[in-house]
Structure 1
Amino acid sequence: MEYTVQPAKAVKGEMVVPGDKSISHRSIMLGSLAEGQTRVTGFLRGEDNLATLNAFRAMGIDITDDGTTLRISGKGLRGLSEPTDVLDCGNSGTSMRLMAGLLAGQSFFSVLTGDQYLRRRPMKRVIEPLARMGGTIFGRSGGDRAPLAIVGRPLAGISHHSAVASAQVKSALMLAGLYAEGETTITEPHLSRDHSERMFRYFGADVASFTGGVTVRGGRELQGRDIIVPGDISSAAFFIVAALIVPGSELLIRGVGVNPTRTGILDILTAMGGDIQLLDCRDLSGEPVADILVRASRLRGVEIGGDVVPRAIDEFPVICVAAALADGQTTLRDAHELRVKETDRITAMAKNLCRAGVAIAETPDGMVIEGAGRIDGCRAESFGDHRIAMSMLVAGLAASGEVTVDDVECIGTSFPDFIPLLQKVANS
């Protein structure tokens, strides 16, 4: 299904965005591994998170959902049962990579698969360190592609330096570390999002963070907790950019998670001249939360690289839209990770923005965007990637003509109500 968005006169009002996708995944996993009941409010009911939920139900965990609150009856670290069928992760790389770590230390056999896009994504970056811990995992392409067949084994802690700052790699090894003998230490070149560290600590795991990494000591049981999932800043990002690029806009987004490992988007847009304020800062279930007030702004091109990149890695498609409408050149570097997301997001955004009349050049680890303060109407491709689809719909709000995006069904993986919310706040 395709969708067409018309240029907007303004983006105005108040809104909330769905619960944080990363925190929602982890609430299911740790709630299932904890002893006793965990209650989760604000859970994101997108396709990716539901894939995780269904996988744990298939491993014997009782999870009820009344539409407002999830109730997870955890069975402890050794309480999972061998699934009777393949576990389908859909489009969710988080589900597959994190569960590979968790399942490596079980006492049973399991298989993880996913859709056509997930089966193309690299898995060796997780599989290789898990093998060093004693994990036995088989996959296509020499172990680099799903489906993954996992033979649960006793694990031993290791020290691992990740070549890239990846919360998925780190979290997979942390989950394996819960089952490993001794300590598991993961270091990174830059700090990736730390939701796992915070939630491990919240559930009572033996975890210690230090500059450049984290250590988990295996064997300590987790205890069920109540979790309030804040709004996802990755979802809020689309509306933040929309309000910045459409003249006359003012938008308040309530209850958004502002974990400092995730606020690279705010730092980048503020450096571009964006008028963004954080109001009513508070703490929920170990995570910082705030209301975000955004006003339309004249943006300017900037250079982006270094440690801000992993702190904004999921938001770069819509940052590209902001850069296209800014004055002057924006250069993105150190972002090779974008090439191994749901699609190659560097190439995908370059192709779409070129169709919209934007001068853009790819580099191996980023791109150069010549901002001219305008975007033309066009037909854009989603490439089956939810963030590409949403970014190009946002671009349409500030374009000179309508923008049509094909295959917008993929938006349901992370933000099922995106289009109705966009229609609500964008005044055409």
Structure 2
Amino acid sequence: MNTQQPSPRLFQPAGPLRGRLRVPGDKSISHRSVMLGALAVGETRVTGLLEGEDVMATAAAMRAMGATVEKSGDEWRIHGVGVGGLLQPAAALEMGNSGTSTRLLMGLLASHAITAAFTGDASLSKRPMGRVIEPLSRIGAQFTPSPGGTLPLMMTGARVPVPIEYRLPVASAQVKSAILLAGLNTAGMTTVIEPVPTRDHSERMLRGFGAELAVEEADGDRIITIRGEAELQPQTIEVPGDPSSAAFFMVAASLVPGSDLVIENVGLNPTRAGLVEVLRLMGASIEEMDAREVGGEPVADLRVRHAALGGIEVNPALAPSMIDEFPVLFVAAALAEGRTVTRGLDELRVKESDRLAAMAAALAAAGARVEETEDGLVIEGTGGEALRGTADEQITTHLDHRIAMAMAVAGLVSRNGVEIDDTRPIATSFPAFEALLERASA
């Protein structure tokens, strides 16, 4: 984050959200387009790249290992070094707040015989890396993490990496992707078995770049196999809008009376579109317009109008397809009619913050009725009545961008506004969030 001093802000009640807006490019696809572009031989061109701090950390790391990553007009151009061609970085790779950059790059480096140090900010340095270290160690990489398996961390990739078959103990797109990226430079077939499907951007993009990758279903499992020593071909990529960023505007427009908002170019990959399904089950009015496919990813413009929401029991099977959207779903639940129950959300305890505890405390401070359980929240909604808001209390965001943005949305539907302790983390994924929110509700 740019400045050292916290930047608190009071988000106040606002008028209807109207007009059209476009959210930044999808963060998951942006990370992967930079990484795979850096492993292809030739020039990859990317438009719509998310220019938040997390993706810029990935870009800086790939530059440090020999790739050219530069912006030219509205386009990013990446000249890759080829699979197996990454160079030893001269200094530690600074990951900022980006868990995605860290875990995916650890996978990438696991099958390259180079040594790298990973560092991050205070929030990232609390996040566990053991779930990635364990399978990558089987491939032959060596790790010296800080106590508790966290950053700062030193790793050395395998000189002769070994292909593995790995069954994911918990649903995690980052762990799956790390293993597949390690498999790119590993002779033979590397296999990941997913008991629960997670977002599949890595599989789609690896295929797009020319990797030999197969996906099959067997006994309820999803089995993904990649052939190593791949030769990746440069691509031209248009990054769709990030559904996790669009989520804040979907919920805000659903909750603020009189809203009629079009969010353009939103990625609707089925492994990411859980929030749209859940909001519709609650009664939201979300219309898909101009549905199309861009770079192998389904995309549409979403027209969202104010609607009365009702509480529901959220199916835990939907959690992987909307794991980052739960903070703002909790805000929707706080204004719905009746009770919303969420379960199976253990993963939220190891995000940028413990998002279950953080959102329970934040919503309670703003006047919502919330009960925290071991693996979810139970929220009694107001039936559309505005939340009280915060009085003299600041909401603690724990350096978590999604907590900050979710509570900004809560401020729009409060009587007294909601003050958060720090807006700086928002820049990690959505630098223009505050400006777009003001414009939409002006």
Query: Do Structure 1 and Structure 2 share a fold, with TM-score over 0.5?
Result: yes
Residue 328 of structure 1 aligns with which residue?
A: 338
Aligned 8 A contact 2:163 2:190 in 1: yes
Aligned 8 A contact 1:305 1:335 in 2: no
**For structure 1, which segment, 178-187 or 286-295, has the greater mean C-alpha deviation from structure 2 after superposition?**
178-187
| Alpha-carbon distance in 2 for matches of 1:237, 1:314 | 9
Which of the residues 103, 121, 131 maps onto 2:109?
A: 103
Residue 175 of structure 1 aligns with which residue?
A: 181
CA RMSD of aligned residues (A): 1.0
**CA displacement, residues 99-150 of structure 1 (integer Å, 9 cap, x when unaligned):** 00111111211111111111110101000011111111221125x1112211
Structure 1, unmatched stretches of 5+, are none
Superposed counterparts of 1:14-413, under 5 Å = 14-141=20-147, 144-153=149-158, 154-211=160-217, 212-373=222-383, 374=385, 375-378=387-390, 379-413=394-428
SS in 2 for 1:294: strand
| Alpha-carbon distance in 2 for matches of 1:195, 1:13 | 30
Aligned 8 A contact 1:191 1:213 in 2: no
Decide which structure has greater strand share. Answer: 1
TM-score by length of 2: 0.95
| Alpha-carbon distance in 2 for matches of 1:321, 1:133 | 42
| Alpha-carbon distance in 1 for matches of 2:389, 2:56 | 35
Number of aligned positions between the proteins: 426
Deviation of 1:67 after TM superposition, in Å, equals: 4.4
Amino acid at match of 2:401: H
TM-score by length of 1: 0.98
| Alpha-carbon distance in 2 for matches of 1:410, 1:116 | 12
Aligned 8 A contact 2:95 2:120 in 1: yes
Deviation of 1:8 after TM superposition, in Å, equals: 1.5
Aligned 8 A contact 1:104 1:137 in 2: no
**For structure 1, which segment, 367-376 or 232-241, has the greater mean C-alpha deviation from structure 2 after superposition?**
367-376
Amino acid at match of 1:284: V
| Alpha-carbon distance in 1 for matches of 2:412, 2:400 | 19
| Alpha-carbon distance in 1 for matches of 2:102, 2:87 | 18
Runs of 4+ in 1 over 3 A off after TM superposition: none
% identical aligned pairs: 52
| Alpha-carbon distance in 2 for matches of 1:78, 1:183 | 16
**CA displacement, residues 289-337 of structure 1 (integer Å, 9 cap, x when unaligned):** 1000100010000111332000000000000000000011101001100
SS in 2 for 1:26: helix
Amino acid at match of 2:274: G
Structure 2, unmatched stretches of 5+, are 1-6
Aligned 8 A contact 1:2 1:405 in 2: yes
Amino acid at match of 2:399: G
| Alpha-carbon distance in 2 for matches of 1:332, 1:213 | 28
